[in-house]
């Protein structure tokens, strides 16, 4: 809650429920005020009327035919409540509120809902058919001071959507024939309240107790927009007793019409609809009312003043009193009749002192120091020190009046908003205001970004650099001012760089900018997590958060994801990784992979070492290594062996000597190069096959031809041999024939 203060209205007030020696008394929760010409009862609901029996007043017994239910009555002729009266000449006029007779009450309406406090439940006559007292409260103070009767009722309206604190002050000078009602409505909620209606309703049956008539002539004398004054009068048609209700306030409307038991609708009374009239006149037994329509922003208050006038001779004084909002002794427009004190916040400040009330009174002031004059109902004081003055009123209809009051010159104001601070945007700090004693009032402005603007040490979370002003009010209501600057530093722009990828077992240097110090998390895989540019080696994808701090201590973060790409898979086409070729022949190398860049080394014998599938024709057996790079830059290698072998040849011996000496005893072809002898046969010169070997043993020739045919030694001479061999790597067949000589 942020109730805004008007320093000219902050008064050092000590109000208590002590019955001052004077003309006001409490009975139960009700209070009675007795002036020279007015007697008034106020219930604990703030309604004008009390069902309690009033005590003897300091001026004597309360007057009237029906004491129980006293509302407000007046000695309208100011003749000492003369009991002797002729026909049609009552000794007093006024209202008594008892069951079945005039009623009185007040109500508040907002957003279509109405809350009422009226005479039946408040005076203890029950609530059946009339509803309850909707707004809780009580009489909190009453005094008789400086010739003024005064009582304060305080309560609240706490309902969904509307939260109001309500202070009703009723006052009148001892010699007056009117009483003033001042109502302060404070919005204690967080929502602005618009179109709040407040109404006061009374049935003006002031002739009943003396003349037995309920009829009155009700007249709308003034109303907005034709006049800034609102006034409705009701004249009794039998005894002529008078009642007027009015105010000088363009927010007010007066009307006549419905009683509260109808029930009331303040907005209808303000607009003159629903049985209410806001112009013209009528003769009726009906109520009169005054209604105000106000807006109350959250945390603010509004004050409305109106008067009940009990004799037309006091109309002018009563309406003027609604402008100032007070009667009796005032300082700068603030009533000090009850407190007897007023705070002067600075030496040399001027205070306008006024004594309001009976215009016949002559006022004198003493001592004469710091005063513009010592005689008059309005003077100016400029005190330089705390001074107690006495004011005396002589010649009033209620006798002489003497009262004292003190102008307190305050020299103890203190406000220290604390040292200037710097915070980072999004952060908060606690303000350290100091304003003296704990009971002092604190008000920080602007309240933007504050946890509570009405404490000494609110938490401040502004989003921009803000100068806060601390206003402290001491126990005298005097303000002191100081300020503090909260500088809001921006967060650093921390940049961890774009997301990157590395290969398995690879390494990359990360680099953060924008701060003066850094912390990387998690620390896994980093060479140093507390520097701007750690080296990073990870096995799996990892997201790193870098927290950077700038020179102001402000912190921000950024993230970078390091992805891990696996090495490209390479499968060489040779299986196993060896390719046999004959010298001079070619073979095509190839690799199954997801790579995009290839390099074969050594390049010897390759058609192109930088393609996936080069043609190889090495002169010697060669181990080729292929290096493959994929789209992520990851590299892998594999090898393949190209084995170069000579040309397959079948060698035919041209002679052999099977003589049993162990040397060259068998004939068999030999093979050079890569391959195996598969078959050979021997023929004589007549073309007869004399030997065939389908599974020759080329290792030692042990199953070669031994030089015999059909069990006998073959003839010495020439023979023909036909041989066939098969290449080992492609199984190609090679055939050859030739001749040789058998020797003995």
**pLDDT tens digit sequence for 93-127:** 887 765 555 578 899 999 999 998 887 666 555 54
Query: Residue 352: beta bridge partners?
Result: 380
Instruction: Compute the distance between CA of residue 716 and CA of residue 53 in angstroms, rounded to an integer.
Output: 175
Based on the fold, state whether residues 656 and 611 are members of the same structural domain: no
Does the pLDDT value for residue 600 go beyond 90? yes
pLDDT for 517 equals 97
Give me the sign of the Cα torsion angle 660, 663, 664, 668: positive
Question: Which tokens belong to 139?
Answer: 């009489």
Look up tokens 């603030």; give the residue: 334
* pLDDT confidence of residue 267: 95
pLDDT at 698: 61
In a domain, 566, yes or no: no
Give the residues across from 383 on adjacent strands: none
pLDDT at position 200 over 90: yes
Instruction: Give the residue with greater pLDDT, 207 vs 310.
Output: 310
Cis bond upstream, residue 186 (ω within 30): no
Where a domain ends, among 489, 514, 537? 489
pLDDT of residue 13: 30
Provide the pLDDT for residue 297: 95
Return the ∠ at Cα 476 (arms to 474 and 481), rounded to 5°: 40
Average pLDDT over residues 560-579: 79
Averaged pLDDT, 129-150: 76
Q: How far is CA 54 from CA 23, 96, 438, 737, in A?
A: 12, 13, 42, 159
- Burial group, residue 441, by CB count within 10 angstroms (0-12, 13-18, 19+): middle
Q: Work out the pLDDT band at 435, boundaries 50, 70, 90.
A: confident
Same domain, 671 and 544: no
Q: Does one domain contain both 54 and 99?
A: yes
Q: Is there a domain that residue 334 lies in?
A: no
Pick from 663, 13, 2, 690: nearest CA to 342: 13
Q: How many domains does the chain have?
A: 6
Rounded Cα distance between 280 and 461, Å, is 58
Q: Could you tell me the CATH number of the domain that includes residue 631? A: 2.60.40.10
**164-186: per-residue pLDDT in tens?**
999 999 998 888 899 999 999 99
* Model confidence at 17: pLDDT above 50: no
What was the pLDDT predicted at 359? Answer: 66
Q: Pick from 601, 625, 645: which residue ends a domain?
A: 645
Q: How far apart are CA 584 and CA 505, in angstroms?
A: 42
Give pLDDT, residue 84: 47
Distance between CA 245 and CA 217 in Å, rounded? 14
* Residue 293 within any structural domain of the chain: yes
Mean pLDDT, residues 447-465: 95
Q: Which residue did the predictor score with more confidence, 127 or 483? A: 483
* DSSP characters over 259-282: -TTTT--HHHHHHT-TT-BSSSEE
Query: How confident is the model over 301-309, as a mean pLDDT?
Result: 96
Structural domain of 709: 649-742
pLDDT value for 262: 53
pLDDT of residue 430: 97
Cα–Cα–Cα angle for 223, 224, 225, rounded to 5 degrees: 135
End-to-end, the C-alpha distance of the chain in Å comes to 138
* Radius of gyration from C-alpha coordinates of the chain: 59
Domain co-membership, 731 together with 599: no
Q: Residues near 679 by Cβ (< 8 Å), separated by ≥ 6?
A: 692, 693, 694, 696, 723, 724
Measured CA to CA, the distance from residue 473 to residue 10 in angstroms comes to 9
Residue at 415 is within a domain: no
Assigned domain for 565 exists: no
| The predicted structure's pLDDT at residue 682 | 95
Partner residues linked to 363 by β-bridges: 393
- Decide if 290 contacts 254 (C-beta within 8 A): yes
Average pLDDT over residues 389-406: 84
Q: Is residue 333 part of a domain?
A: no
Answer whether residue 562 is part of any domain. no
Asked if residue 131 has pLDDT above 50, the reply is no
Calculate what percentage of the chain has a pLDDT beyond 70.
88
Q: d(Cα 334, Cα 338) in Å, to the nearest integer?
A: 11
pLDDT tens-digit map of 315-362: 998 998 898 666 677 778 777 766 678 889 888 899 999 887 666 688
pLDDT for 192 equals: 95
Strands 555-565 and 70-74: unpaired
State whether 345 and 478 are in the same domain. Answer: no
Contact call for residues 722 and 680 (beta carbons, < 8 A):
yes
Average pLDDT on 187-206 reads 93
* Both tokens assigned to 536: 């990073």
Of 91, 46, 94, 52, the residue nearest 69 (C-alpha):
52
Q: How confident is the model at residue 147 (pLDDT cuts 50, 70, 90)?
A: confident
- The stretch 42-58 carries a mean pLDDT of 84
Instruction: Characterize 459-486 residue by residue with b for buried, 16 or more Cβ atoms within 10 angstroms of its Cβ, and e for exposed.
Output: ebbbeeebebebbbbbebbbbbebebeb
Task: Return mean pLDDT, the chain.
Answer: 86
Q: Distance between CA 161 and CA 11 in Å, rounded?
A: 31
Q: ω into residue 225 within 30 of 0, thus cis?
A: yes
Segment 254-267 shows an average pLDDT of 80
595 and 525 together in one domain: no
Q: In the predicted model, is pLDDT for residue 481 greater than 70?
A: yes
Question: Which is more confident, 592 or 539?
Answer: 539
Confidence of residue 386 (pLDDT cuts 50, 70, 90): very high
Alpha helices in 108-230 (DSSP H): 119-122, 208-211
Which one of 273-282, 398-407, 727-736 scores highest in mean pLDDT?
273-282
Helices (H), 157-314: 208-211, 266-271
As a whole number, mean pLDDT of residues 305-314 equals 94
288 and 193 assigned to the same domain: yes
More confident residue, 13 or 652: 652
Are residues 166 and 297 located together in one domain of the fold? Answer: yes
Is the same domain home to 239 and 167? yes
- Of 292, 324, 356, the residue at which a domain comes to its end is 324
Q: Would you list the DSSP string of 62-75?
A: PPSS--TTEEEEE-
Q: Is residue 291 part of a domain?
A: yes
Q: So what's the pLDDT on residue 460? A: 97
| Domain co-membership, 154 together with 132 | yes
Structure tokens at 505: 């077992």
Strand partners, 549: 517, 555
Is the predicted pLDDT of residue 571 greater than 90, yes or no?
Answer: no
- pLDDT of residue 699 exceeding 80, the answer is no
- Tokens representing 555 are 């912190």
Lowest mean pLDDT among 61-65, 368-372, 626-630: 61-65
Q: 440 and 575 in one domain?
A: no
Q: In terms of domains, do 269 and 189 share one?
A: yes
């Amino acid at each position: 809650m942020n109730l805004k203060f008007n320093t000219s209205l902050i008064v050092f007030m000590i109000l208590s429920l002590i019955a001052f020696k004077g003309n006001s008394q409490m009975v139960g929760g009700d209070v009675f005020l007795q002036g020279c010409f007015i007697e008034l009862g106020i219930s604990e609901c703030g309604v004008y009327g009390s069902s309690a029996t009033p005590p003897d007043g300091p001026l004597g017994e309360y007057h009237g035919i029906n004491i129980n239910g006293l509302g407000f009555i007046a000695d309208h002729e100011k003749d000492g409540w003369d009991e002797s009266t002729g026909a049609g000449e009552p000794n007093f006029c006024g209202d008594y509120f008892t069951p079945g007779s005039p009623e009185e009450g007040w109500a508040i309406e907002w957003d279509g809902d109405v809350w009422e406090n009226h005479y039946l439940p408040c005076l203890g006559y029950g609530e059946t058919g009339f509803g309850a007292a909707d707004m809780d409260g009580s009489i909190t103070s009453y005094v008789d001071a400086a010739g003024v009767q005064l009582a304060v009722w305080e309560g609240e309206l706490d309902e969904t959507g509307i939260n109001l604190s309500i202070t009703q002050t009723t006052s009148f000078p001892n010699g007056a024939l009117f009483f003033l009602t001042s109502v302060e409505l404070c919005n204690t909620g967080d929502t602005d309240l618009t179109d709040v209606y407040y109404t006061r309703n009374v049935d003006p049956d002031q002739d009943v107790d003396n003349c037995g008539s309920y009829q009155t002539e009700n007249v709308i004398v003034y109303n907005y927009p034709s006049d800034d004054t609102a006034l409705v009068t009701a004249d009794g048609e039998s005894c002529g007793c008078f009642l007027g209700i009015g105010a000088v306030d363009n927010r007010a409307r007066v009307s006549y019409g419905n009683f509260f038991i109808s029930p009331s609708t303040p907005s209808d009374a303000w607009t003159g609809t629903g049985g209410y009239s806001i112009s013209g006149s009528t003769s009726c037994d009906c109520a009169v009312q005054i209604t105000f329509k106000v807006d109350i922003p959250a945390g603010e208050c509004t004050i409305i003043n109106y008067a009940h006038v009990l004799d037309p001779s006091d109309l002018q004084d009563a309406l003027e009193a609604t402008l100032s909002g007070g009667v009796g002794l005032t300082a700068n427009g603030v009533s000090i009749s009850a407190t007897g004190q007023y705070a002067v916040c600075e030496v040399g400040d001027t205070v306008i002192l006024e004594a309001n009330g009976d215009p016949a009174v002559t006022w004198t002031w003493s001592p004469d120091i710091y005063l513009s004059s010592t005689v008059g109902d309005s003077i100016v004081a400029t005190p330089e020190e705390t001074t107690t003055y006495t004011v005396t009123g002589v010649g009033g209809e209620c006798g002489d009046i003497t009262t004292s009051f003190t102008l307190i010159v305050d020299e103890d104001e203190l406000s220290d908003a604390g040292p200037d601070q710097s915070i980072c945007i999004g952060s908060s700090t606690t303000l350290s205001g100091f304003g003296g004693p704990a009971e002092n009032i604190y008000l920080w402005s602007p309240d933007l970004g504050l946890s509570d603007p009405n404490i000494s040490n609110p938490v401040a979370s502004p989003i921009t650099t803000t100068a806060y002003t601390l206003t402290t009010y001491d126990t005298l209501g005097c303000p002191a001012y100081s300020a503090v600057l909260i500088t809001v530093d921006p967060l650093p722009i921390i940049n961890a760089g774009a997301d990157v990828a590395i290969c398995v077992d690879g390494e990359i240097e990360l680099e953060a900018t924008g701060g003066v110090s850094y912390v990387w998390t998690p620390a896994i895989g980093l060479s140093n997590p507390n520097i701007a540019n750690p080296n990073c080696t990870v096995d799996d994808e990892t997201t790193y958060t870098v927290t950077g701090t700038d020179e102001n201590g402000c912190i921000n973060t950024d993230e970078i994801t390091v992805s891990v790409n696996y090495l490209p898979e390479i499968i060489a086409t040779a299986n196993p990784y060896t390719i046999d070729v004959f010298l001079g022949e070619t073979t095509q190398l190839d690799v199954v992979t997801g790579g995009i860049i290839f390099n074969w080394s050594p390049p010897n014998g390759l058609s192109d070492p930088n393609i996936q599938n080069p043609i190889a024709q090495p002169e010697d057996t060669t181990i080729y290594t292929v290096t493959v790079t994929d789209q992520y830059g990851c590299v892998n290698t594999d090898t393949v062996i190209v084995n170069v072998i000579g040309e397959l040849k079948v060698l035919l011996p041209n002679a052999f000597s099977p003589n049993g000496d162990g040397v060259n005893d068998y004939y068999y072809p030999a093979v050079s190069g890569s391959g195996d002898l598969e078959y050979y046969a021997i023929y004589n010169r007549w073309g007869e096959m004399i030997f065939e070997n389908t599974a020759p043993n080329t290792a030692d020739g042990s199953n070669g031809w031994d030089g015999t045919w059909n069990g006998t030694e073959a003839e010495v001479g020439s023979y023909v041999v036909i041989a066939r061999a098969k290449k080992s790597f492609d199984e190609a067949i090679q055939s050859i024939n030739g001749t040789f000589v058998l020797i003995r």
